[in-house]
Amino acid sequence: MTAVLAAATLGLTAGAVPASAADYERLLNGTFESGTADPWWAGSGTTARVTGGEFCTAVTGGTANGYDALSGQNGVPFEAGQQYTLNFDAHATTTQQISAVAGEAVSPYRQISREDLTVTPAKQHFTVTFTSTLDFPAAGNGQLAFWFGGQATGNTVCLDNISLVGGVVPPGGLPPTSGVRVNQESYVPGLPKRATVISDATTPLTWTLKNSAGTAVATGQTRPRGADAASGEKVHEIDFSAYETEGTGYTLTVGAETSFPFAIAANGLKQLRYDSLAFFYHQRSGIPIEAQYVGAGYARPAGHVNVAPNQGDDRVPCRSDLNCGYTLDVRGGWYDAGDHGKYVVNGGIAAWELLDEYERALRVGDASALGDGKLAIPERANGVPDILDEARWEVDFLLEMQVPDGAPDAGMVHHKIHDAQWTSLPTRPDQDSQPRRLSPPSTAATLNMAAVAAQASRLWRTVDPAYSAKLLAAAEKAYAAAKANPNKLADPNDGTGGGTYSDSTVTDEFYWAAAELFATTGKSAYRGDVTGSALYRGASFTTHGFDWASTGALGDITLALVPTDLPAADVSAIKTAITTTADSHLAQLSGMGYPAPYRTADGTYEWGSNGLVANNGVVLALAYDFTKQDKYRDGAFAALDYLLGRNPANYSYVSGHGDQPVRNVHHRFWAHELDASLPTAPPGALSGGPNSGLQDPTAARLLAGCPPQRCFVDDIQAYSVNEVAINWNSALAWLTNWTAEKSPSGADTTAPSAPGTPAVSAVSATGATVTWPAAADPESGVAGYDVVGVTGSSRKVLATVAGTSATLTGLTPSTAYTLVVVARNGAGANSADSPSARFTTLAAGGCAVTYAANTWNGGFTATVTLTNTGTTAWPSWTLKFPFSGNQKVTQGWSATWSQSGADVSATSLPWNGSVAPGRSVAIGFNGSYSGSNANPRAFTVNGVACG
């Protein structure tokens, strides 16, 4: 039988009234009017298609049993003791017996009903009535199937107008929940604090605010708002802005309804700033996701690095019908969403928003919160702001997608790279066995790369001048190629194995790329393309908002923030367009029961509505930056209130934040709902949110007829409402960084406790690793640590990190060091020094080795980095180390690996043998073990013991 859709919790939502059982149609797409069969499936030995408005299944003859050839639909809800009526029309090329079977889609395949019927070449109508003996929730293991097997010869059976009516539990994706909806994360002191309560009452109701002990601390009267179109509810507003005492565990009560708990504090939003950025490290392709940065539950091996079963991203050919004549090395980048595809037009806006988050903070905000050591990523101690390091992982991928010189379309950029066929849920990236293919270059992708590379070049100009120059050269080449090929549009039918991301209008991308190139270079040619565009002076700003397909506003945001020689009146016009759009958002918010800056022409909600809510929050935030008017600040915070729980679904749409956050987002690794050994979504992932389109079977079954803001269910199979994507999370990251920056500091004047005694390990000639017990700060939390070198009365910060471990680099060989660790809290206060630690670096001329393993039952992947800490180059190298247990190297890469007993040897290859002083080489292997899997402790390179 065919695999089943994942189970979802069902229940009556607040205010729901059961209809009669006769109203409840339990099947989807029973008339096949759409021309597609989805979600009907055909089993092995059959081929099915919709033809002439019917679902026709071609059956291979010679099978023994009826169930050897079948088709059906999964996720059908049944309730024990309830009656169901099945109706359908059927005919066949040749007369035969079929069976209509209601039951279970997975082992042990229990049956509820089976009716054997005879179909003939003449169309007949059939009616079957039965009472269910089993309970299956919607999107659970219930199934309706038609058996066609057990016939000697082949046949074709056609079905139409299939209907199953019965049961008393109404469809619906939201669990029973409170009628009081709040920001489940936290409200910020000094800013508005509002909530929504469902009620038909036309007069004010009494609300009570209680603290974590259940003691009433404030009370007041609700404001009736009446019918709310977006939610389909009648609501009141609660305003408790006057209450300012910080704390956690607050609740709001109206009558018998009590909200989820929430805090009054700024710390939650400040943590969300980092959690939303951590999403991107989780989504990295081509690198192991290590436990030291994400925790053991989220660690995984590198995906798509040509280690079986991956076919790798290092030599990806074009789609077979293109015959481009070359392959590209496109390792790296971010996986776009819950699948394993990498898309330039979505990666472009996502990388741009991270870069703009930093650039905006540099010019009109506070960039210190985005500096080196703020994120838990491998680059966190390299002297570069961590947000730039994270963005670079995607920017480098965008450059790799450029068509090479000498090839047709040289300088253009391939639209996307993904699997030849869609992978199933769940599939960890390193277990993806599908071949990878490049789709054709497109004008939109080329301009995305040009815009982001030009923007990145501007930001790296003082950080890494050589890299900045490389970026600008690639950007200018891409822009010239796009101007020479202005109408290469992505194929809207190229959707096998990955999303299409087709876009029929690229005027906005041309404007955006020209604006970025002009802001970076000041060249007159780009200036002319900017000022000559119909989009100049803010024409792209609309109440719908900007996204991957509407990027003109990105160029205007850059022109409003980055000084150029444009006329001051034109820059002012851009800022006016931003504030005018923000005013329209505020006018809309004032009339909503659940305020969200989101609007479509017909009032419905679209795929990824939460991403647009966040981007429109960005517009409100910029309006505040340019005017300092509190109304815009309050509107930006209101957008975040909606995303964090003040919405009709009563979910925090951000995982890990709130008492009812999304957990089961559509993702192939964060798939705990389908496989208990896999994790749920990590903190900081934004669900796509309400979507009136209901383009997947689970959402369609659970949410039929939903009001726009209620079209949501937290189910991994409901990809049209519960997918995650890098462009939505980049919008959340921008907005949460801004709200964290604008959150009053509160009254925390107490310094954190001192960290514990540091421990020093992995000492080399120029570096060491330092770890320490955490400090504590119950008021505003520990925000970070400085590792400080102490020489007499002189002090020097050697590293700044967010966690309790730091890798020191750039130390002097053969030198004694004394260091202490200092903690810093959310209010900016520093702790006393930790106890000191002392160590001496190794002599120059040696080597350093780091070894990291990602372990699972019976196997592991090890990454080993060799660093030349000496003063002369290695022409070649041999690494040796002993295992402490029974580990075995089963497959290695980037070296020639051998093992004798416990002793392992790895010898350089021709392409990586030469290692200059201060340079490193990374190698690795897969291994097996039983018992324990301790890391090796002693390493030599070319016979020299390493630190």
Q: List active site positions.
A: 339, 666, 714, 723
| Residue reference for tokens 């099947």 | 27
* 83-92, strands of its sheet edge to edge: 46-51, 54-59, 155-166, 83-92, 124-131
Six token digits for residue 909? 């290859």
Strand partners, 945: 940
Instruction: Name residues whose C-beta falls within 8 Å of residue 460's C-beta, 6 or more positions apart in sequence.
Output: 388, 467, 468, 471
Determine the length of the chain: 947
**d(C-alpha 599, C-alpha 214), whole Å:** 39
- Please confirm whether the linkage preceding 426 is cis (ω < 30° from 0): yes
Closest CA to 644 of 635, 655, 634, 633: 655
Is the CB of residue 397 less than 8 Å from the CB of residue 452?
no
Nearest one of 172, 264, 265 to 217, comparing CA atoms: 264
Question: Could you give the 3-state DSSP secondary structure of residue 333?
Answer: coil
Pairing verdict, β 247-254 and 206-210 = antiparallel
CA angle, residues 423, 426, 432, in degrees to nearest 5? 45
Q: Give the 3-state secondary structure of residue 913.
A: coil
DSSP for residue 562:
S
Q: Are 72 and 157 in contact (CB under 8 A)?
A: no
901: which residues sit within 8 A by CB, 6+ positions away?
none
**Residues 427, 668 contacting (CB under 8 angstroms):** yes
Q: Do 307 and 891 contact (CB within 8 A), yes or no?
A: yes
Closest CA to 109 of 2, 218, 216: 2
Strands 194-198 and 316-317: unpaired
- Nearest Cα residue to 358 out of 345, 377, 372: 372
Distance CA 126, CA 436 (A): 47
Nearest CA among 474, 396, 436 for reference residue 314: 436
- Sorted by sequence, the CB contacts under 8 Å of residue 504 that are 6+ apart come out as 489
Which pair of tokens denotes residue 553?
A: 């506003």
- Tokens 């090929």 belong to 485
As a whole number of angstroms, the distance between CA 415 and CA 152 comes to 49
Please state, in angstroms and rounded to a whole number, the distance separating the CA atoms of residues 657 and 645.
9
Looking at residue 321, what DSSP letter applies?
Answer: T
Residues in Cβ contact with 388 at an 8 Å cutoff, skipping those fewer than 6 apart: 355, 358, 459, 460, 463
**Which stretches does DSSP call E strand in 636-781?**
759-761, 768-771
CB 430 within 8 A of CB 301: yes
Looking only at the bridges linking them, the beta strands covering 223-228 and 262-264 are unpaired
Among 70, 80, 87, 81, smallest CA distance to 129 is for 87
- Coil, strand or helix: which one is 176? coil
Tell me if residue 437 falls in helix, strand or coil.
strand
Q: Determine what percent of the chain falls in helix, strand and coil, rounding each to the nearest 5.
A: 25, 25, 50
Structure tokens that stand for 22 in this block: 């006769």
Rounded to a whole number of angstroms, the distance between the first and last alpha carbons of the chain is: 57
Gap between the Cα atoms of 214 and 201, Å rounded: 26
